[in-house]
Structure 1
Amino acid sequence: MTAQPDRIVHVTTVHQPFDPRIFYKQLASLRDAGFDTHLIAPHDRTEQVQGISIHALPQSTARWRRIALHPTALRMAQALNADLYQVHDPELLPVAFLLREATGARIVYDMHENYRAKGPILGRALRTLERWAFRWVDHVLIAEESYRSIVEAGPVSSTYIPNYFRPIGDARLGAPAKAGHTPARLLYTGTLSASRGLRTMVKLAARIRRAGRPETIDLVGICRYEKQRAWAKARIQEEDLNSILSRVGWDTYVPPSTMPPYYRRADVGLALFEPHPNHRGSIPTKFYEYLHYGLPLICSDIPRWRRFVERHACGAVVPPGEPAAVLDVLDEWRAHPERYRERAERARAAASRYRWKPVGQRLATLYRQVLNEKVTGASVTG
């Protein structure tokens, strides 16, 4: 008889089912490696997508309602009788512990953020949960090297699984910038919030309009904060910015598979974040996406980000919260189009260093090691 493939179940109550890291990178790579892959996540229906079985939880954005889903998530996960469970949210660690006790399955925890930065109360509570879990989980995946010091405080082994680029949808490249081309179409992709530069980009659009400049800005992503959406909408109407600033998604999640056309027609990728602790310790996934499409970056002057941009000569950094500095960079590139073209070429050249495929292959190898109780704690650097 042919042996049944090991069953893997990922569980989240926070993330969208088609979260790029969870669905398109990790689960897709595990499926390709021959695992029987399942995902328990908030969704409107239970279905199978691209060979991955999605088991739907009710959808909710409120934390207390998500926590109320934990008994349901536990029952669903236990019924699947997996060989290994991976949880993506620190609040699910007690559920993972109960699964371990009830099934004897292996447990992996994927640390997406430095949750201590969530604030003095919530952040401390989440860190306490993590430190407790480090005593009994089988392995921890970390999305950023900077999180390693957090995990090393406990006895558990960890592996760096970076959020490198994996093509989703039609990821064909656009044509390289031609000689004399000057950048006019600016792009931001991903979750929108004040800490991720929403206010700065709206103010940038206002400056563009008042000065009669040629630039436009595409914001492609969801803003989950109603008050921030209301502020931005009011400012856009007051300043008559609809011809300058387009919003795609806004109050609705934008599937990654629909984003490639926006990348291909853009000239510059924006990341005008505030220097929040989580931002200072990580490289945004959108950096790797911008590089793939040959988009020079204009990003906030955060030390880790500055080093990335300078290492690859792929863009420019500006002081956080200063839209005038963005216009200064664009003016320089307009006056010297060869500088813009060189940065675009450097972006394309750097992209090959940040591909997901080898990381996904190593993730599958790591899973086999965890299942065979042979984890050594070796680091995956991609």
Structure 2
Amino acid sequence: MFNRKKVVHMTTVHHPLDPRIYYKECTSLHRSGYDVTLIAPDSSDLKDEEVRISKLKKHSSRLKGMIFGTMNAYRKARKLKADVYHFHDPELIPVAWLLKKKNNVVIYDIHEDYETGIVQRDYLTPTLRKILAKVYKIIENRLTKNMELCLAEKYYKEKYPRGTCILNYPLLQTSLINHDTTSPRVNQLLYTGNLTTDRGALLHARLPSLDPDLSVHFYGRCSEHLAQQMKQKAGVGEERMHIDGVNRYLPKGEIDAAYSSRPWLAGVALFPPTDHYMKKELTKFFEYMTAGIPILCSDFPKWKEFIDTYQCGLSVDPYNDKEIVKALNYLRENPEEAKAMGRRGREAVLNHLNWQKEEEKLLKWYDSLIKKDT
């Protein structure tokens, strides 16, 4: 296809084995013949990885990491003299701007709606949030004019009409696709992914208090402070709330094992309404579906439309305890329909909503960008 074009993926924020960056994009490009290097923070989780990783030194604070990590990433990237630079953090926009030349391609991979994300930072004053969001947008618009935009979500097209959607759909994993979903469902709920208040951590924490027989299991990074808040919110149900990931990164393998560890009643995503998430198709949706687990999520219009389209779960008001209990009872009292929800979700992933489909788009896009640039 081509003569081993050199590709450099860059992140100073994400874990080096981030599923989208490492297992999907970098691995797909590597296996298709590209010479791929990932510049990313060092981690004890790294062993003999398939894709070459150039490690960045870890720093004691986020500020030091942003300053010195970014400078180090630039030095490493410049030395590699890549044909394609593909970066994953807004902090790296100035670095990418410096790396952009007439004879290379620079891609900004937009994982989040960063503008609305800044507005939600509760450790900043409302006024400062709005100012920073506007400043960020101005810088982004000016410095990314000559870059390609890779969008992880469909709705990002509203803000970035020239962007190319390479959606963050799941890998088709045999262990999840083939595991048994016919066993009677246990009275246990599953949540996967990072735990934060804007991802509904405190809403999920109160679930055990709604039913004395219900337990909730969380698999994802959670700060010690937030874990304590969740325990307080759980109240009498504290012993039936389990968090695996307090102050640590959970490797993808551990999360995958959780999906198939038991026949979960549902996978939950009871988020509070925010501009940042209301239109976003969560990665956990597709992973729950791959594992054949019914979804119980907030009834945001886009989320409800998704659930209704694929008939793969139930959507509820995340603040309405009676509605949540009614949905849980429905899943328990209608086990065949719960199994059917899981089955329909899995079929949708197998047929349409999977990384293998997106991989084809990624490789064709890369090929067209390189041809255009030569």
Verify same fold: TM over 0.5: yes
* Aligned with residue 186 of structure 1, among 182, 185, 189: 189
Residue 278 of structure 1: SS of its match in structure 2?
coil
Task: Note if 1:315 corresponds to 2:324.
Answer: no
Residue 259 of structure 2 corresponds to residue 256 of structure 1: no
* Shift of residue 185, structure 1, vs aligned partner: 1.9
> 1:198 and 1:323, CA in 2 relative to 1: closer, same or farther beyond 3 A?
farther
Distance in 2 (CA, whole Å) between partners of 1:47 and 1:292 is: 26
- Tell me which residue corresponds to 2:64: 65
TM-score normalised over the length of structure 2: 0.89
Classify 1:270/1:142 alpha carbon distance in 2 versus 1 (closer, same or farther; 3 Å): same
Equivalent residue runs for 1:198-217 within 5 Å: 198-208=201-211, 212-213=212-213, 215-217=214-216
Alpha-carbon separation, structure 2, partners of 1:221 and 1:21:
16
Q: 2:140 aligns with which of 120, 130, 144?
A: 130
Q: Structure 2 counterpart of 1:151, which letter?
A: Y
What SS is found at the alignment partner of 1:241?
helix
Percent identity reads 30
Pick closer, same or farther for the CA change 1:314–1:3 going to 2, 3 Å: closer
Say whether residues 1:147 and 2:144 are aligned partners: no
Q: Counterparts in 2 of 1:162-311, with a 5 A limit? A: 162-167=167-172, 170-178=175-183, 181-208=184-211, 212-213=212-213, 215-224=214-223, 226-235=224-233, 239=236, 241-242=238-239, 244-264=240-260, 265=262, 266-311=264-309
The answer to whether the 8 Å contact 2:149/2:163 transfers is yes
Distance of aligned partners of 1:182 and 1:362 in 2 relative to their CA distance in 1, 3 Å threshold: closer
Distance in 2, Cα, partners of 1:46 & 1:240: 33
Cα deviation for residue 164 of structure 1 reads 0.6
SS in structure 1 at match of 2:206: helix
Pairwise CA distance, 1:253: 0.7
2:173 and 2:15 map into 1 onto residues whose CA distance is: 16
* Structure 2 partner of 1:33: 32
The answer to which of 76-85 and 182-191 deviates more is 182-191
Q: CA–CA distance in 1 between the matches of 2:132 and 2:319?
A: 26
Do the aligned partners of 2:208 and 2:215 also contact (CA within 8 Å) in 1? yes
Q: Indicate the larger mover: 91-100 or 121-130.
A: 121-130
1:171 aligned counterpart, secondary structure: helix
Q: CA deviation at 1:278?
A: 1.4
- Cα contact 1:275–1:302 (8 A) shared by 2: yes
Alignment length (residue pairs): 359
> C-alpha displacement at 1:207, in angstroms?
2.4
Cα contact 2:317–2:323 (8 A) shared by 1: yes
Output one character per residue of 1:84-105: Cα deviation in whole Å (capped at 9) or x when no partner.
101111121110111124x842
Give the structure-1-normalised TM-score: 0.87
Structure 1 unaligned runs (5+)?
376-382
Q: What RMSD in Å do the two structures reach over aligned CA positions?
A: 2.4
Q: Secondary structure at the match of 1:107?
A: strand
Aligned partner letter, 1:149: E
What whole-Å deviation, never above 9, does each CA across 1:243-297 have from its counterpart, x for those lacking one? x111111211111122222111123111111111111121000111011111010
Distance 1:322 1:17, change over 3 A: farther
Residues 183 and 267, structure 1, Cα contact 8 Å, conserved in 2: yes
Write the distance in 1 (CA, Å) between the matches of 2:36 and 2:320.
45
Q: Residue type matched to 1:140 in 2? A: L
Change in Cα spacing, 1:41 to 1:93, as seen in structure 2 (3 Å) is same
1:177 is matched by which residue type in structure 2?
T
More relative contact order in 1 or in 2 (CA 8 Å, sep 6+)? 1
